[in-house]
Structure formats: C-alpha cells, structure tokens
Chain A
Amino acid sequence: MTCAVGVERKSVQGASEAPPLMTSFSADWGSDISTLKGVPWGKAMMWVFLVSDTFIFTCFLVGYMAVRMSTVEPWPNPSEVFALQVFGNSVPLLLIAIMTFILISSSGTMAMAVNMGYQRRKDAATSLILVTALLGAMFVGMQAFEWSKLILDEGVRPWSNPFGAPQFGAVFFMVTGFHGLHVSAGVVYLLTIAFRLRRGKYDESNFEIVEITGLYWHFVDLVWVFIFALFYLW
C-alpha cells in the first residue's frame, strides 16, 4: 500500500449521514489538513467574508439605533413617508412590500439554481441565476425610484427633511445605499457566474460555485430582512 503524502482522509462515515454533533465538532477541530470538512476553499472564504459583512451592517444599524434613540426630535413615521398613492388611497409601505416580495422571489430562484447546480443541470442553473439577477436588478431599480421620489418630491435630504429628525434621511440613504450597492454588486457577480457557467468554465467541478454565489445572494436578502424590520416597520 502506498501512503501518498499530503492527502486527506475520507471520513469513515457515510456521505449522507451527519455524524453526531459533539463528536464531529471535536473531531473536526482536532484533525489535520482541514477543520471545515468537505467545505471547498471558496465556500469557506465566502462564509468568513459574510460574517465580517454582518458586522458592517450591524454597525450601520447600531448607528441608526443610537441616532434614533438619542435624538430629541420626533422620528418620522416610515409607514407614512414610504406610502404610495393608489387609486386615491394612501397605501403604507406598498413599494417596500413589493421590493421585499421581489427579493424573496430572487432568493427562491437562487436556491433553485443551487439545487440545479448540484444535479449538474447546467442550463437550468444558468437560467435560474439569470432570473435571480433580473429580480435583483428590479429591486435596485425600485430602490432608485424610491430615492428619487424622496429626494425630488418629498424634499428629503441627508441633512434634513420636512418630517422630523434630520438624521432620518441620513440613515435612510446610508443604509439603503450600502445595501443597494451590495445588491448591485451581487447582480454583476451573478451575471459573471452565469456566463462563466454557460461557457463551461466550471464543468470540471461539482458546481459548488453556484452555492457560493447563492450564499452571497441570500446574505443580501438577509440584510434586507433586518432593514425592513428595523427601519421601515419599527
């Protein structure tokens, strides 16, 4: 028997059966070569990046919380600020609800794409990624529309607004701006991966690149969950 140098042991357990939690935990941390078993480098890196990005968005939201809690001026009511006039009725947060719907849909299509990727159905995966990107682009478009509505129609500025505490506009533009930036970057990322997938660049692999991309996209949706709850609803 030849013992090749520098090779990874295959786990003694079956591929589809998860080992008991604590045993696997200490075994993983105590093993050689890798700690996160079966996790490709790109996926590990994406997860670590997402953890640090979580800290960035949390710090932004902490800033929002601090500013809102400490200001003596009343905070504007987001349901009214972000309401849309439909057939003469003011529907609160309508645009935001639609945007949430779109982003969740895109998360769903992304999850489908990951599933198709692991089934090696490359074309289905590519199409679903493109749909996800399209939905993401629609989200950004709507966010841009919301911005223009607030800036041009309502007179909301980063330094003041007609509704209440001046920081409302600042927080809104900063938080949704960074989120929108992440969504836009995500759209570009999705398109890049989709084209590379179609061209066959990942044919040699297990298509884990789709899952890695999916992690980023779900993260973007996750941040929106928090922004929606804490900024628009609270």
Chain B
Amino acid sequence: MTDEPSQQHPIRIYLIVWGLLFLISALSYMTDFIDRGFWRWALILLFMALKAGFIVAVFMHVRWERLALMAVVLAPPILLLVLVGLMAIESDYTRSIRFEYFAEGVQEEALPVSTSNKHN
C-alpha cells in the first residue's frame, strides 16, 4: 500500500486520553458550582479547549498527520474567530442601544425556577 504516517498507535494512548477526557469533563461539571465571574468563564473555556484539543489531536489522529492535512483542517476555523469576535462586539452594542432607548420595564434578575411542579 502507499506510504503513509502510521495509523496505528499503541492502544494505551487512546485509553489514557479517554481517561483524561472523563477527568476533564468531571472538572468542567464542577465549574457549575463556581459563581458567575471571571474564573467560571475562564475555567469553562480552558476545559473546553483541552477536551477539544485531545479529541482532535488524538482521537481524530491529527497529531500524527502530515502538516499539509493539519493545515487544511485547522486553518479555516481561524476565519471564524473574526466572525465570533465581531458578533460579540455587535451584540453588546445592540444591547447597550436597547438599554439606552427602551429602558423601561427591563428586569435585571432571572425569574426563579419554580420547583412546585417538577417531578422526579
């Protein structure tokens, strides 16, 4: 068959990453108990990036691929960062415009989740 970077790796590495993914997921879940603020967001994003990184690099094999394939896969999503960044600025602007012009009747606190009709 044609020469290619070896697709086979010892099973150990997959099991290790698998375990890591469980661990990081558990840690992500724990962030739910931190109050909203910088640290909550930072940890959510960090764990998300770590999990994504492991899945792409190991499970999807990108770590062992040639750079050409890595470039084809990883370069286009960079364009998305522009979209995300600009949309964040735009949405924030929209919100501030709404507060400026339609300020009456805005609630600041979320409605409490009613527990009376929740079943087990």
Contact = CB atoms under 8 A, between A and B. Distances in A.
Please say whether chains A and B are actual partners in one complex: yes
A107 B107 CA distance: 42
Contacts of B91: 65-70
Contact of A118 (B7, B18, B84, B90): B7
Interface string B88-120: 101110110011001000111111011101111
A85 B120 CA distance: 5
Given A24-B68, A59-B83, 19 more contacts: A28-B67, A37-B66, A54-B76, A65-B84, A69-B88, A74-B108, A74-B111, A76-B110, A100-B25, A108-B15, A111-B58, A115-B9, A163-B113, A208-B7, A214-B59, A214-B60, A215-B60, A233-B32, A234-B44
28 contacts: A16-B6, A18-B66, A24-B66, A28-B68, A29-B68, A37-B3, A37-B4, A38-B66, A39-B4, A51-B73, A58-B80, A65-B84, A69-B88, A93-B29, A93-B32, A104-B18, A108-B18, A115-B8, A115-B9, A115-B11, A214-B59, A218-B56, A219-B60, A221-B55, A221-B59, A222-B52, A229-B45, A233-B31
B83 to A, nearest CB: 6
Interface of B: 1-9, 11, 14-15, 17-18, 21-22, 25, 28-29, 31-32, 41, 44-45, 47-48, 51-52, 55-56, 58-61, 64-69, 71-73, 76-77, 80, 83-84, 87-88, 90-92, 94-95, 98-99, 102, 106-111, 113-115, 117-120
A24 B115 contact: no
Interface in A14-39: 15-16, 18-19, 21-22, 24-25, 28-29, 35-39
Nearest to B102: A72
A206 B7 CA distance: 10
A231 B76 CA distance: 23
Counting chain A residues whose Cβ lies within 8 A of the other chain, the interface size class is: 35 or more
